[in-house]
Chains A and B, each alone.
Chain A
Amino acid sequence: MSRLLKLNIFRYNPEDEQSAPHMQEFVLEETDSMTLFIALNRIREEQDPSLQFDFCCRAGICGSCGMVINGRPGLACHTKTRDLPGEITLLPLPIFKLVGDLSVDTGTWFREMYTKTESWIHTNKAFDPTALEERMDNKDAVAIYELERCVECGCCISACGTARLREDFMGAAALNRVARFLIDPRDQRTDRDYYEIIGNDMGIFGCMGLLACEDVCPKHLPLQNQLGFLRRKMGITSIKRLFSK
């Protein structure tokens, strides 16, 4: 006989004046290889069609389904119910604006982030369609890709103490993004240019270094190393700036 799972799910529909934030309990029979993706869809189709949550790829690659699962931010699609106790509590990610129930607006947050960090290659070279591609060391390419694996799920931001204290803190995902361009030989920005973006308390100097971000990152990005790398680099840039003034 399979388990009966009890799911306590946060409910609130800001667009419905009758709705007030509360927890609602759903009971569901567990099946083989059940993930939270399957469980939540089943609840929506069989018990409450208004339940809001986000899934897209359901394969752990798009980052849509970040939520707080029994107290810890994570991706719901690759969380198996079998690894959880019979009672499961689901809450939306904090910090991001709530859309309804378990669904939050990560899109706006990340779009602002990459406008702030100017998340694109800065170069004055023009593309020549008749020429061979510019050469690049494979090691550089692989290193850039390692940092670009972020799926913008928002888990690191939601777990971050600083981000909770100050709304304007960029968070580990943004700092990781800056590191990605900093190591890209195609980007012509200097350390000083980057200092303008992250050399302050909203950026690298706001981070308390407790590393909740790396703990929860479902893509296992080396956030700790990147934060250390940027802090050193920006520290040096900061000193250089002092002397050249």
Chain B
Amino acid sequence: MQTIYTDFLVVGAGLAGERAAVETAEAGFSAICLSLVPARRSHSSAAQGGMQASLGNSVMGEGDGPDVHFADTVKGSDWGCDQEVARLFADTAPIEMRRLAHWGVPWNRVVPGKSIYYKGGKQFEKVEAEEKEGLIMARSFGGTAKWRTCYTSDGTGHAVMCTMDNRCAEKGVEVHDKTEAIALLQDGETCFGVVARCLRTGELRVYLSKATMIAAGGFGRIYPNTTNAVICDGGAHTMCVATGLVPMGNMEAVQFHPTGIVPTDILVTEGCRGDGGTLLDVDEKRFMNIYEPEKAELASRDVVSRWMTHHMREGHGVKSPYGEHLWLDIRHLGKEHITGKLREVYEICTSFLGVDPIHQLIPVRPTQHYSMGGVRTNKDGAAYGLKGLFAAGEAACWDMHGFNRLGGNSLAETVVAGGIIGRKIAEYLEGSEAEFKTGLINDEVKKQRSRIDALIEGRDGSENVYKVRSAMQDALHKGANIFRTQEGLEKCVADLQEVLIRAKKIGLRSNGKGVNPELAAALKLEGQVKLALMVAYGALMRTESRGSHNREDYPARNDRDWLTRTLAYWKKPEDTLPTLEYEPASTVVEIPPGDRGYGHAKIISADDKKE
């Protein structure tokens, strides 16, 4: 078996992982990123919209600055975020965008003079200033007071990912793609690498490192419908959960997007509704105007998703072989508008659905989109529970997003956090001596081998991995979705507990030789069910509504009792529920909790004395 040594090991070669690796490489350390796929295929490259940084170059961004960005972020989080981290983020974002420009990102630039833009379906005019010519341009995004989202045409994530990966190649950061980390190496105090499985041959490999980072992206695939890539499956989170020592933060905070297309849940932009598209039910009737007479389709993401689900529950959904859905109607916007301003949407509909949105309705449903929760770290990116373990990006709960992240803030987070935490890791590496315990390494490898053999031989049972996986996804979908109630969550938790028993009895149907996708799925399933239980059980216990977490039976945001972050541990492997602990959402409070200015406004204030 191959053993590979490096100073810094990153599980994940998306933007967050590669940015941190570049930082340590520049400080003179060796760095290796592991990835399931070639780095540029990481989900970061799928982001089209852009990344927020308060450069204030566009005329619509005048007066913007880190303070305004900070305030938007805290409000967006529904005061669930760590304000110290949000501050660090807002202050650093402009520098990181400029750095990316220096490294080669072809940001769209300010073109001086008159141009037109649309808002709420109406046409407006703006004039960009001469003296800003050639500086980084920004576009408008939901939940932001100013135009602050830096972009490269409609492929921001792709362009930034290319530049970052180039930088890695230049700086000698190795990317071991088609490699899947399956277990952490740790002695109860310190993490010193991972056991990984080669996805070219199926062999196990040991990676030893002084510092290890989880930058493995989101875990949307524990839900049945998600905009996330098929590799966003939480596999790396399950390694942390399995230690019993590392907690996951705010797992109940899951963001849903109203318009994923059916069947493949690819995202169509909010711009459809922004430009005047409507949502229709099975009778091709509008319904958002009934529930939200003022804003209708233009209410915020979580609000629209909530009413869509409600409406389907009431029996107005369209039945299809892929489950129920609703319709998005943009036909009235006309051919010119659809093939012009909504070109992406037009292409997605024609390429993936064979639907022509100029004449036909688009099948849509609310879809899991972003995981606010993840490996809980402090502001330096160090994971709770194990020395030498760090996390960044969507995989982490660093926690600048709290209970709802704003569009454009996630991609920006990957590079900002990657930079800041990468520097902290370089400091850590400077002062650390490595000690690799060979006994522990051998034990862990043996343990993983025996897990694999048990699955291949069907030693523990003959449950079908794909059926058990879909039972998990169904349970979450039914109980821990956009709407949550005590009854639904209790059932969800009970169902998931049954699924957990089945997940321990998987037996492969194929021979398990080589890369074997069935084995890869089976190895992470039990851990995924545990993640699902952290989502559901955390949501059951949190008796309030905050950001994306909506309890129908507790509609108010309760700052008196719940201005907290959930920490979910799986203390012993045989436990049937996670252990929940809580910590204050923020120890530094720059902006005291108040009204967000959108969504529901019922708040139980922290000042209301407990009886």
Chain A contact residues, CB within 8 Å of chain B: 13-16, 31-33, 35, 37-38, 44-45, 48-52, 54-64, 77-78, 80, 82-83, 99-100, 103, 105-107, 110-111, 114-115, 118-121, 125, 127, 129, 131-138, 140-142, 144-145, 148-149, 151-152, 184, 186
A107 CA / B199 CA spacing, docked (Å): 12
Contacts of B353 in A (CB 8 A): 33
Whole-angstrom distance between the Cβ of A100 and the nearest chain B Cβ: 6
Contacts of A99 in B (CB 8 A): 178, 199-200, 515
Contacts of A136 in B (CB 8 A): 101, 106-107, 109, 134
A33 CA / B362 CA spacing, docked (Å): 12
Which residues of B in the span 175-221 have a Cβ within 8 Å of any Cβ on A? 175, 177-178, 199-202
Interface contact B41-A64, CB-CB below 8 Å:
yes
Q: Chain B interface secondary structure, helix, strand, loop or mixed? A: loop
Interface contact A137-B109, CB-CB below 8 Å:
yes
- Which stretch (B118-126, B154-162, B391-399) binds chain A? B154-162
- Which stretch (B328-336, B505-513, B529-537, B576-584) binds chain A? B505-513
Contacts A50-B511, A141-B152 given; indicate if A59 touches B348 (C-beta within 8 A): yes
Whole-angstrom distance between the Cβ of A77 and the nearest chain B Cβ: 8
- Which stretch (B79-87, B166-174, B402-410, B538-546) binds chain A? B166-174
Interface contact A15-B515, CB-CB below 8 Å:
yes
B110 at the interface (CB under 8 A from A): yes
Interface contact A133-B108, CB-CB below 8 Å:
no
Interface contact A145-B101, CB-CB below 8 Å:
no
Contacts A99-B200, A135-B135 given; indicate if A32 touches B517 (C-beta within 8 A): no
Contacts A80-B354, A127-B99 given; indicate if A106 touches B230 (C-beta within 8 A): no
Contacts A64-B37, A135-B133 given; indicate if A16 touches B46 (C-beta within 8 A): no
Contacts of A14 in B (CB 8 A): 514
Contacts of A129 in B (CB 8 A): 95, 98-99
How many residues of chain B are within 8 Å of chain A by beta carbon? 74
Whole-angstrom distance between the Cβ of A23 and the nearest chain B Cβ: 19
> Can you give 27 contacting A-B residue pairs, CB < 8 Å?
A13-B513, A16-B513, A32-B320, A33-B353, A33-B355, A38-B264, A49-B518, A50-B510, A52-B517, A56-B43, A56-B230, A58-B266, A59-B348, A62-B41, A99-B178, A107-B37, A118-B170, A120-B166, A121-B102, A121-B104, A127-B99, A133-B55, A135-B134, A138-B134, A152-B40, A184-B106, A186-B104
Which 6 A/B pairs are nearest by Cβ-Cβ distance?
A15-B514, A135-B134, A50-B510, A107-B38, A49-B518, A144-B106
Contacts of B414 in A (CB 8 A): none
B103 at the interface (CB under 8 A from A): yes
Contacts of B262 in A (CB 8 A): 33
A151 CA / B37 CA spacing, docked (Å): 13
A147 CA / B378 CA spacing, docked (Å): 40
Interface contact A56-B354, CB-CB below 8 Å:
no
B111 at the interface (CB under 8 A from A): yes
B352 at the interface (CB under 8 A from A): yes
Which residues of B in the span 220-239 have a Cβ within 8 Å of any Cβ on A? 229-231
Partner of B515, one of A60, A100, A106: A100
Contacts of A51 in B (CB 8 A): 517
Contacts of B170 in A (CB 8 A): 118, 120
Given A56-B37, A63-B40, 7 more pairs with CB closer than 8 A: A33-B263, A80-B354, A105-B178, A110-B38, A118-B170, A134-B102, A145-B155
Interface contact B155-A59, CB-CB below 8 Å:
no
A115 CA / B110 CA spacing, docked (Å): 33
Contacts of A149 in B (CB 8 A): 155, 158
Interface contact A13-B514, CB-CB below 8 Å:
yes
B137 at the interface (CB under 8 A from A): yes
B321 at the interface (CB under 8 A from A): yes
Interface contact A35-B514, CB-CB below 8 Å:
no
Partner of B201, one of A15, A83, A110, A115: A15
Whole-angstrom distance between the Cβ of B236 and the nearest chain A Cβ: 16
A184 CA / B159 CA spacing, docked (Å): 14
A54 CA / B41 CA spacing, docked (Å): 11
Whole-angstrom distance between the Cβ of A14 and the nearest chain B Cβ: 7
B528 at the interface (CB under 8 A from A): no
Interface contact A148-B109, CB-CB below 8 Å:
no
Q: Chain A interface secondary structure, helix, strand, loop or mixed? A: loop
Interface contact A148-B178, CB-CB below 8 Å:
no
Chain B contact residues, CB within 8 Å of chain A: 37-38, 40-41, 43, 45-46, 55, 95, 97-99, 101-104, 106-111, 133-137, 152-153, 155, 158-159, 162, 165-167, 169-170, 175, 177-178, 199-202, 229-231, 262-264, 266-267, 320-322, 348, 351-355, 465-466, 508-511, 513-518
Partner of A145, one of B111, B153, B351: B153
Contacts of B515 in A (CB 8 A): 13, 15, 52, 99-100, 103
Contacts of A15 in B (CB 8 A): 201-202, 513-515
Partner of B110, one of A110, A121, A138: A138
Partner of B106, one of A33, A105, A145: A145
Contacts A48-B510, A56-B41, A107-B37 given; indicate if A141 touches B229 (C-beta within 8 A): no
Whole-angstrom distance between the Cβ of A150 and the nearest chain B Cβ: 9
A42 CA / B307 CA spacing, docked (Å): 31
Residue among A49, A118, A149 with the highest chain B CB neighbour number at 10 A? A49
A56 CA / B165 CA spacing, docked (Å): 18
Partner of B166, one of A78, A114, A151: A114
Interface contact A49-B509, CB-CB below 8 Å:
yes
Interface contact B229-A62, CB-CB below 8 Å:
yes
A105 CA / B200 CA spacing, docked (Å): 8
Contacts of B514 in A (CB 8 A): 13-16, 52, 100
Residue among A52, A80, A136 with the highest chain B CB neighbour number at 10 A? A136
A147 CA / B167 CA spacing, docked (Å): 18
Contacts of B264 in A (CB 8 A): 35, 37-38, 58-59, 77
A31 CA / B352 CA spacing, docked (Å): 13
Contacts of A103 in B (CB 8 A): 515
Q: For residue A153, which residue of chain B has the nearest CB?
A: B41
Interface contact A38-B263, CB-CB below 8 Å:
yes
Interface contact B101-A134, CB-CB below 8 Å:
yes
A62 CA / B509 CA spacing, docked (Å): 30
Whole-angstrom distance between the Cβ of A185 and the nearest chain B Cβ: 11
Residue among A48, A60, A100 with the highest chain B CB neighbour number at 10 A? A100
Contacts of B158 in A (CB 8 A): 61, 148-149, 151
A140 CA / B37 CA spacing, docked (Å): 31
Contacts A59-B348, A129-B98, A136-B134 given; indicate if A33 touches B354 (C-beta within 8 A): yes
A55 CA / B109 CA spacing, docked (Å): 34
Whole-angstrom distance between the Cβ of B517 and the nearest chain A Cβ: 6
Whole-angstrom distance between the Cβ of B524 and the nearest chain A Cβ: 15
Contacts A13-B513, A35-B352, A58-B230 given; indicate if A145 touches B159 (C-beta within 8 A): yes
Contacts of A141 in B (CB 8 A): 106-109, 152
Whole-angstrom distance between the Cβ of A117 and the nearest chain B Cβ: 10
A66 CA / B389 CA spacing, docked (Å): 36
Whole-angstrom distance between the Cβ of A233 and the nearest chain B Cβ: 20
A15 CA / B202 CA spacing, docked (Å): 8
Q: For residue B37, which residue of chain A has the nearest CB?
A: A56
Whole-angstrom distance between the Cβ of A145 and the nearest chain B Cβ: 5
Residue among A56, A132, A137 with the highest chain B CB neighbour number at 10 A? A56
A142 CA / B151 CA spacing, docked (Å): 11
Q: For residue A150, which residue of chain B has the nearest CB?
A: B162
Q: For residue B96, which residue of chain A has the nearest CB?
A: A129
Whole-angstrom distance between the Cβ of B201 and the nearest chain A Cβ: 6
Residue among A57, A105, A148 with the highest chain B CB neighbour number at 10 A? A57
Whole-angstrom distance between the Cβ of A108 and the nearest chain B Cβ: 8
